[in-house]
Amino acid sequence: MAEKNYIVKIEDAKNFVVSSMVAIGTQPSHAQALADVLVLADQRGHYSHGLNRLEKYVNEVKSKSVIVENDPFIEKETVSTALVNGNNAMGCVVGNFAMSVAIKKAKEAGVGWVAANHSNHYGIAGMYSLQAVEQGLMGFSFTNSSPFLVPTRSKERYLGTNPITCAAPSTNPDDPFVLDMATTAVAQGKVEVAKRKDVKLPNGWGTNSSGENCTDPREVLKSGGLYPLGGPEETSGYKGSGLAMMVEILCGILSGSHYGSNVRTWQSNEGYANLGQCFIAVNPEMFAPGFQARLADLMKGYRELKPADGQEAILVAGDPERLAMKKVEEDGGILYHPNFITYLL
């Protein structure tokens, strides 16, 4: 008989994160910032980046590879740009601060572009692009991360999952465009979730140590890596490799942080991560009028396309997350696999 899944109320999930982090010395406001981003990930269906990541943050704080007393600060700035020193604070704290700077500059100058160094893992990238949308702006965010992508024609890891997010407001405040994706075939956390559930990976997600397709999550995590977006070369994986390099330039190279294989390995707490991140806010009102109406019309036309035989409705980026959040609301909480609850406790 299959084990029963658990439904956990949103506030209970947040309180669990806050209490766990405060118990090891994290500032309450920083613990709350972490709770907000982790639980939002689970609400939006991105279990790979939700409470699944809590152990990593706990270990970083315990090992003092993240300094919980620190706050980020601006090293230098112009009217539309800034370089933020994350000061080795928690990544979500750095992300919230840097995007707030970008938003302020976008409201004043039309565009705000902020690069941050000395940061840490900041959760789902979409958390920060959505903050811009809440202010009527377009938002972009990128981060580099520990090497896990095996570039096309290689059998070695070199770049991280290096996510991209772009969010933009439409005339319906509940219906923004929200793209939030890794530049690898899949986020690393999804491989970790598959391992925890003891299920095989789909073809095209990961490789073994020889650079060949691998469906064993344990082997992918231990000695293999992730394909770039697109998979192997014959299905255009080199494009995903190129996008990951672009993110590395915007984050690691632009900010002066660690980059490429210089970023410490995943789950290592030796030294500081010194991740690089990029945050951009754009005021669409500085361009042609009617941006939000045109975006709403674009998405409407996209969704109304006729599905191919056997396919369901066409989804715009952000729709799967909206459906996930609707289900959470209907269920009265977030659905968790029993293996995960066992692991968490």
- Region 221-227 average pLDDT: 96
Residues with Cβ < 8 Å from 158, sequence gap 6 or more?
A: 147, 149, 150, 151, 260, 261
Q: Is 84 helix (H, G, I), strand (E, B) or coil?
A: strand
- In this predicted structure, what is the pLDDT of residue 314? 97
Instruction: State the pLDDT confidence band at 203, using cuts at 50, 70 and 90.
Output: very high
pLDDT of residue 1 exceeding 70, the answer is: no
pLDDT of residue 332 exceeding 60, the answer is: yes
pTM beyond 0.85: yes
| Token reading at 234 | 């014959």
pLDDT tens by residue, 231-286 = 999 999 999 999 999 999 999 999 999 999 999 988 788 889 999 999 999 999 99
pLDDT of residue 2 exceeding 60, the answer is: no
pLDDT of residue 144 exceeding 50, the answer is: yes
d(Cα 263, Cα 273) in Å, to the nearest integer? 6
- In this predicted structure, what is the pLDDT of residue 261? 93
> Taking the alpha carbons of 313, 319, 320, 322 in that order, is the dihedral positive or negative?
negative
pLDDT of residue 146 exceeding 70, the answer is: yes
- In this predicted structure, what is the pLDDT of residue 38? 98
Instruction: State the pLDDT confidence band at 111, using cuts at 50, 70 and 90.
Output: very high
- In this predicted structure, what is the pLDDT of residue 337? 84
| Token reading at 235 | 């299905």
CB-facing half-sphere around the CA of 144: CA atoms within 13 A: 34
d(Cα 66, Cα 73) in Å, to the nearest integer? 16
Q: Are 82 and 101 in contact (CB under 8 A)?
A: yes
Question: What is 130-151 written as a DSSP string?
Answer: HHHHTTT-EEEEEE--SS-B--
